[in-house]
Structure 1
């Protein structure tokens, strides 16, 4: 596995990977209408461009070096809160799950965050998304929960999780 720093030229690939992963991850959790709304809002070219304009926001593509294929991506923001990074998104296409890509990406994130003097990583995960078990297996703990109005008559019902960087 290799992590490739993404730039604006990768926006169509990020959008494609998001759609492929979401269609499987959220099929039983979200309505088709909510999924389409969220994809169009969160992964529009305009929205992703605002991330690239923020020097603290980073996108990395997860590449399978054996197949020279992109298997997913992650987007995170340093200094989201004091000494705290936020993992906004990490997704793998369905056929890549269980191969260690997610675990290796989170290990990279831990190192990157630590090297940039952040001491905590936070994320939101849908309460019904099996990914919460993956995060728990990687040392993340639930510290709160929330229901967030995202517009369009939709909400996100999430656990808030954190990982503390040990120095």
Structure 2
């Protein structure tokens, strides 16, 4: 069974960080390259950035199974009508074990209880994730291309359910 353990303070973020870094480097290096992953780890997924997001209302959770952290997820509420899933990652060794289904079921119940739509964004080159999201009922709403600094660009799709 998958447990969601709230991550709220610096010690908890620091404990989760090795899993974040492992997943990001494994998933994104083949898509966007090591230099952009390094940049994004510093500017988007560092301990100080995550703590700032939590202070601003993001909800982070370590995903645990059999006393092991197998991934993490985060969401925030936008305008009281969108449950924005900002992070949803499972470590490579734990994929294909139904954990993603558990998380999606949890988000579905949460969104329904709040009367919200679900929304997320995904790298345009992450076809595996796109396929999973579409299988779960998400539809591509639009493309989003954003310059993030140092010559790097994020090319994403915004999906909604």
Where does residue 75 of structure 1 map in the other structure? 74
1 CA distance for matches of 2:154 and 2:7? 27
1 CA distance for matches of 2:6 and 2:79? 23
Question: Residues 14-93 of structure 1 correspond to what in structure 2 (within 5 A)?
Answer: 14-54=16-56, 56-65=57-66, 68-78=67-77, 80-93=78-91
User: Could you tell me the TM-score, scaled by structure 1's length?
Assistant: 0.88
Q: Deviations over 1:142-162 (max 9, x none)?
A: 011111111121111111101
In structure 1, stretches of 5+ residues that fail to align are none
Q: Deviations over 1:83-119 (max 9, x none)?
A: 111111111111111111111112111212222x242
Change in CA separation of 1:81 and 1:72 when aligned onto 2, cut-off 3 Å = same
2 CA distance for matches of 1:120 and 1:101? 22
User: Could you tell me the TM-score, scaled by structure 2's length?
Assistant: 0.91
In structure 2, stretches of 5+ residues that fail to align are none
**Which consecutive segments of 4 or more residues in structure 1 shift more than 6 A?**
none
